[in-house]
Structure 1
Amino acid sequence: MSATIFTGGPILTMDAANSTPEAVGIAGERIVAVGPLPDVRVALPGAREIDLAGRTLIPAFIDPHGHFPDSAFVTLLRADLASPPRGGCRTLADIFARLRAKAAETPKGDWVMGAALDETLLTEGRMPTRDELDAVSSDHPIWVIHTSGHCGVANSLALARHGVGEDTPDPAGGRYLRDAGGRLTGGIEGLSAMGEMGDTHFLIDASNFRRCFDVAREEYISHGVTLAQNSWTAQPLLDLFAEVAAAGDPGIDLVLLPIAEIEPDFSTKGLGTRWPEQAHVTLGPRKLLTDGSFLMRTAWLTEPYHTGAPGKAPDTGLPYMDRETLFAEVRKLHDLGFQIHTHCNGDAASDLFLDAVEAATAANPRPDHRHTIIHGQVMRQDQLARCAALGVTISFFPAHVWFWGDKHHDELLGPERAANISPAAWAEAAGVRFTIHNDASVTPTRPLQLIHTVVNRRTQSGRLLGDHQRVSALSALRAHTIDAAWQVFQEAERGSIETGKLADLAVLDANPLAKPENIENVQLVQTWRRGLPIFAAEIGEINTTKRIGAGA
């Protein structure tokens, strides 16, 4: 079994004491020694030694909430309609040109799907219409899904394929948008209304799933992520992931979150015979959604949005579930012994989920359940106190500060609420353990940029959005490593540099704690997974290695 010792640079362990040892030794898949260099050498005689040469060693990053491999679905299978800084679409004309190009390479009658559209970044500031998509092609059903994943626009053929007509009523928790004359515009809001078209697996088969899996894996490990997450895993996706898992180590570890509605049948009837026993693709919490997206004003708030959408008065958004249904789902999952992750963007949605958790835990006390609010964008201080009392944890989505912070400030939330978006400092003060995520592919998986945002809270215009909600670089690093492992009950295996844990490591070209204002400029040099280097950046491949003798 080969052994390696790292020394010669800062080592940030993220252990309980935040210790910074002189050396770390690994053998096989595991960390076997941490401490003074002479002691680590004694523990691993004959090991090769890597001189970090001033670089910084940290635990590899963990994705606490995302939709792997969605980012590759967008780039490989769909028309990528992203705007700067992620893509090149600045106008609706750019959108239509990309959709036409996709239609030109797609057989007539087959679906054309566009993704990652953010109308707030377009010159026109609006979504396309059904008629405009009909002008792109009437020979293809065209479906354009918003970057939030909570709404989209369909052309006439897509509406017909979806079974939506002029007289189709809105489903609970969703909307079919209409113009002033009552005609369908093609806009569809809410998962209940989007149906299959809102699912990640829409138009995905086993062959292109594996191709996208491999591309997404390379993206994630190139940013130091060794544990990814698919946090809305419907049955068709579970089947595709099961095929990958059965084929052997896929090169990245994954946590899947089956959707709540398939339980308990999935676990009692299909899990034992279908799910392969292996260590790399595992089942985690079960997933619920209570509301929608801020960008589409479907996140559910207790107070109205700061300004009304064009042509509409300010409102409070849209709940996806009624109180009785959510209470029943939370109680079902809680009683089955599952951890629950629930999408709650608005504070009204968080109120409802906390009420449901309080009722479920009162009826059936379960210590350390770690039920989790996902996003918690505008959580109030009283809600954070409830989280602490109920044992509820949070995964914040602070990428909104940089990507859409100015829009939150000026239009969606207003200055006061925007200053408290993703209130990590309040959570820390309340004693609530939290993580941070990018929700890929809503925003790209970029851990160092995300950590920079949490620490500095600057918008794209340079505005400081909520100085009082900034946290330390160390807290932000922990939120993307050990706290992220803890949030899915994997803290015994990963997330920190401690003896016995998996040797999942990242080497950075600088210490992010040294200059917190410059974290976004820190670059990944290497990613190690289960004791092996799996990515090396051209700028910093470590080649200063040597083999040392026993007892040296």
Structure 2
Amino acid sequence: MAAPAVMVRRRREPVGTTPWWHHRRPRRDWLGPGASFDPMEGNRQTSGESITVFRARRVRTMERSLPLATAVAVRDGMIIEVGTLESLRPWLDHHPHVIDDRFADQVIMPGLVEPHAHPSLMATMLALDWIPPEPWDLPSGHVAAATSEEEYRGRLEALLRRDEAEGVPEDRPLITFGYHAQFHGDLTRDDLDRLSPLRPLILWQRSFHELRCNGPALEFLDAAEGAEWDPHIELDSGRLYESGMTWALRTLVPILLEPDRFRRSLLDFTALAQMGGITTVVDAGLGIFDVDYELGVYRELFGDAASPITTYLMPNVGMIRGRWKDETLAKVEALIDELPADSDTDVRLRFLRAAKFFTDGAFIAQLMQAGGPGYIDGHVGAWLADPGQMLRQAREWWNAGFDIHTHVTGDLGVQACLDAVDTLLHEHPRFDHRSTLHHFGMSTSAQVRRLARLGMQVSANAFYLRLFSRRFAESGLGWERASQIIRLGSVREQGSTVSLHSDVPMGPLLPLEAASITVTRTAADGTVMCPEEALTPEDALRAITIDAAFQMRLDHRIGSLSAGKDADMVVLDTDPMEIEAADWPSIGVLATIRGGRVFDNPARSGQVRAPGRNPV
């Protein structure tokens, strides 16, 4: 019997250059309160819609059974089959199809997975003036590094002069992001008062966890009231950190979340993700500012079927409990029912059954809880939740079946997490709990062995190693401990999975660069830091694809390319496995493909727009 007639079209066309937000579709009923979904895994079927076959010079699937291919067949947002044009013939002989050759000379990989980002936090920081200790490429353009106190002060003074010339009112604060004492000097309240005696001046530290303020800024933030009970507010030095910074957010949030600016900056966040080859983003801390407001804007911008990324949400339990009180768990359960992680609808906003907790303070600010000999200068880190608090906070969510993801930066923080999971496993045993340590700055080899035996995993910020290991070796930790931060080689050797994240704006949305750092373990000045803890190139690529997906229980849908998975891909100009890992940051991201739909890299098509300068 002859095969049915099929329609075959062949095209070779440039990627579209119209911004995705110009093709916004109307809101769907699935975003309403009465929405219902069928989240049953394995029940996904495609219709008779035409198949699109993406051809490439090489398809690197991240699948052991079929690691390399040259074609990916897609229908209704799902991969039908991966292979070659010849091996796809049984499908193509029976169904209408299009051969898309536009990437025939390029390399296709699974869309990269960002398992720990902060869209709302990055959006607010994009609205500020940046003076960071390392260079950044932002939607508004390139930001040069300020690596000395003289350079930092000069740029800060230039901003003050600019605003004075433009007639900015003296009661409007100047807020900058990127200050770091080890690069820019220990600027105190007195120093800032001399720079700006009348206008509020706020330096947001590079970690986000700390502010440096002059006298008018302390008054603007009502810092004296908070200092009556919070030891993390130091009026004499003008320093507000950890809970002290949270106090300041009461005043700053209404300014930072101005609706039009916040929406524009979230679109810029999306553009940055595309530029990095990312198709999946996890907001690992929903509610960092205002959970209800954030959810509303996320639904509008990230829920649309035309979004180039799929965004998964994980609640910051400590912050949203402040808003939702005793209803927190019930409200999160309702959101999971409304926006299930395994949804097959067009909704691009989904909710993980996972919860975010905290132990110790910011690594970048040297507020992590360092064990053993502690810090060289004798200072002590900060607890965001001490070991007893962390256990009590996590217990309710563990017992409800949530995956426990914890911000942890120092080895004492790691110890608190291990003890908590050990206790919870004895109280309420769970198989395949996938508890994950996030950031993982300092650790010991004994802790790595123990976390593997407890069934835990690690999601690391590789940019700690690149930006701060050399500096912390000389001032803070000493060479032995500073060189061994992010000890991922040992984690893999013990059998735990590893993922890599940006924690943006702590690091850039550049997964290939993060992966490169973990293979080379090269600091910013070129020093190789403890090469014994390097990842293999294959493990580093897995850490931004399939292993990152596994940690979020999404590996059945994303992270690799095989039949039945989401058609999420990134198009590169070079195969990472054909060049040295040190050269991965130079690989060009040409496009991303989300659900079978092609999105050009906005940096190549002129779609990126400046979020505005100093609007605060």
Is 1:283 equivalent to 2:351 in the alignment?
Answer: yes
Is 2:226–2:233's contact at 8 Å kept on the other side of the alignment?
A: no
SS at match of 2:116: coil
TM-score normalised per structure 1: 0.87
Structure 2 CA distance for partners of 1:96 and 1:342, relative to 1, 3 Å: farther
Any residues of structure 2 matched to 1:207-218 within 5 Å, and which? 207-218=260-271
1:3 aligns with 51
User: What is the identity, as a one-letter code, of the residue corresponding to 1:452?
Assistant: S
SS at match of 2:60: coil
Structure 2 CA distance for partners of 1:9 and 1:436, relative to 1, 3 Å: same
Residue 290 (structure 1) shift: 1.0
Q: 2:557 aligns with which of 493, 497, 500?
A: 493
Structure 2 CA distance for partners of 1:270 and 1:21, relative to 1, 3 Å: closer
Q: 1:225 aligns with which of 278, 284, 288?
A: 278
Structure 2 CA distance for partners of 1:157 and 1:315, relative to 1, 3 Å: closer
Q: Could you give the per-residue CA deviations for residues 172-193 of structure 1, whole angstroms, max 9, x where no partner exists?
A: xx52336xxxxx1111222355
Any residues of structure 2 matched to 1:254-333 within 5 Å, and which? 254-261=311-318, 262-263=320-321, 265-269=327-331, 272=334, 277=339, 279-284=347-352, 285-305=354-374, 307-308=376-377, 314-333=378-397
Please give the alpha-carbon distance, in whole angstroms, between the structure 1 residues aligned to 2:513 and 2:447: 28
Please give the alpha-carbon distance, in whole angstroms, between the structure 2 residues aligned to 1:199 and 1:511: 48
Structure 2 CA distance for partners of 1:274 and 1:13, relative to 1, 3 Å: closer
Please give the alpha-carbon distance, in whole angstroms, between the structure 1 residues aligned to 2:189 and 2:119: 30
- What's the RMSD between the two structures over aligned residues? 2.8
Q: Could you give the per-residue CA deviations for residues 229-258 of structure 1, whole angstroms, max 9, x where no partner exists?
A: 322222754323422344341442212221
Residue 271 (structure 1) shift: 6.2
User: What is the identity, as a one-letter code, of the residue corresponding to 2:361?
Assistant: G
Is 1:170–1:193's contact at 8 Å kept on the other side of the alignment?
A: no
Structure 2 CA distance for partners of 1:192 and 1:256, relative to 1, 3 Å: farther
2:242 aligns with 190
Q: 1:112 aligns with which of 143, 164, 174?
A: 174
User: What is the identity, as a one-letter code, of the residue corresponding to 1:92?
Assistant: R
Any residues of structure 2 matched to 1:465-484 within 5 Å, and which? 465-484=529-548
Q: Structure 1 stretch 186-195 or stretch 498-507: which is displaced more?
A: 186-195
2:458 aligns with 394
Residue 164 (structure 1) shift: 2.5
Is 1:297–1:305's contact at 8 Å kept on the other side of the alignment?
A: no
Please give the alpha-carbon distance, in whole angstroms, between the structure 2 residues aligned to 1:10 and 1:336: 44
Structure 2 CA distance for partners of 1:216 and 1:114, relative to 1, 3 Å: same
Any residues of structure 2 matched to 1:494-513 within 5 Å, and which? 494-513=558-577
Is 1:242–1:275's contact at 8 Å kept on the other side of the alignment?
A: no
User: What is the identity, as a one-letter code, of the residue corresponding to 1:185?
Assistant: S
Please give the alpha-carbon distance, in whole angstroms, between the structure 2 residues aligned to 1:219 and 1:432: 30
SS at match of 1:454: helix
Structure 2 alignment gaps of length 5 or more: 1-48, 137-142, 340-344, 606-616
Structure 2 CA distance for partners of 1:58 and 1:151, relative to 1, 3 Å: same
Please give the alpha-carbon distance, in whole angstroms, between the structure 1 residues aligned to 2:603 and 2:213: 43
Q: 1:59 aligns with which of 89, 110, 132?
A: 110
Residue 539 (structure 1) shift: 7.3
Is 1:48 equivalent to 2:99 in the alignment?
Answer: yes
Is 1:190–1:320's contact at 8 Å kept on the other side of the alignment?
A: yes
Structure 1 alignment gaps of length 5 or more: 179-183, 309-313, 541-552
2:152 aligns with 91
TM-score normalised per structure 2: 0.79
Please give the alpha-carbon distance, in whole angstroms, between the structure 2 residues aligned to 1:429 and 1:199: 47
Is 1:242 equivalent to 2:295 in the alignment?
Answer: yes
1:147 aligns with 206
Residue 102 (structure 1) shift: 5.2
Q: Could you give the per-residue CA deviations for residues 86-140 of structure 1, whole angstroms, max 9, x where no partner exists?
A: 3334322212332554575654434432212233333xx33x3223434454554
1:546 aligns with none
User: What is the identity, as a one-letter code, of the residue corresponding to 1:482?
Assistant: I
Report percent identity of matched pairs.
Answer: 24
Please give the alpha-carbon distance, in whole angstroms, between the structure 2 residues aligned to 1:305 and 1:443: 25
Residue 299 (structure 1) shift: 0.6
Please give the alpha-carbon distance, in whole angstroms, between the structure 2 residues aligned to 1:225 and 1:4: 21
Q: Structure 1 stretch 442-451 or stretch 254-263: which is displaced more?
A: 254-263
Structure 2 CA distance for partners of 1:2 and 1:159, relative to 1, 3 Å: farther
User: What is the identity, as a one-letter code, of the residue corresponding to 1:287?
Assistant: K
Q: Could you give the per-residue CA deviations for residues 310-347 of structure 1, whole angstroms, max 9, x where no partner exists?
A: xxxx2442222223211101212212222221111000
Q: Structure 1 stretch 244-253 or stretch 392-401: which is displaced more?
A: 244-253
Is 1:242–1:274's contact at 8 Å kept on the other side of the alignment?
A: no
Is 1:526 equivalent to 2:612 in the alignment?
Answer: no
Residue 23 (structure 1) shift: 2.2
Structure 2 CA distance for partners of 1:99 and 1:204, relative to 1, 3 Å: farther
Structure 2 CA distance for partners of 1:415 and 1:228, relative to 1, 3 Å: same
Q: Could you give the per-residue CA deviations for residues 370-426 of structure 1, whole angstroms, max 9, x where no partner exists?
A: 111111112212111221122211111111221122112322222211221111110
User: What is the identity, as a one-letter code, of the residue corresponding to 1:322?
Assistant: D
Residue 275 (structure 1) shift: 8.8
SS at match of 2:69: coil
1:384 aligns with 448
Is 2:336–2:351's contact at 8 Å kept on the other side of the alignment?
A: no
Structure 2 CA distance for partners of 1:287 and 1:12, relative to 1, 3 Å: same
Q: 1:35 aligns with which of 65, 68, 83?
A: 83
SS at match of 1:412: coil
Structure 2 CA distance for partners of 1:522 and 1:330, relative to 1, 3 Å: same
1:547 aligns with none
Please give the alpha-carbon distance, in whole angstroms, between the structure 1 residues aligned to 2:518 and 2:526: 14
User: What is the identity, as a one-letter code, of the residue corresponding to 2:334?
Assistant: G
Structure 2 CA distance for partners of 1:133 and 1:417, relative to 1, 3 Å: same
Q: Structure 1 stretch 354-363 or stretch 244-253: which is displaced more?
A: 244-253
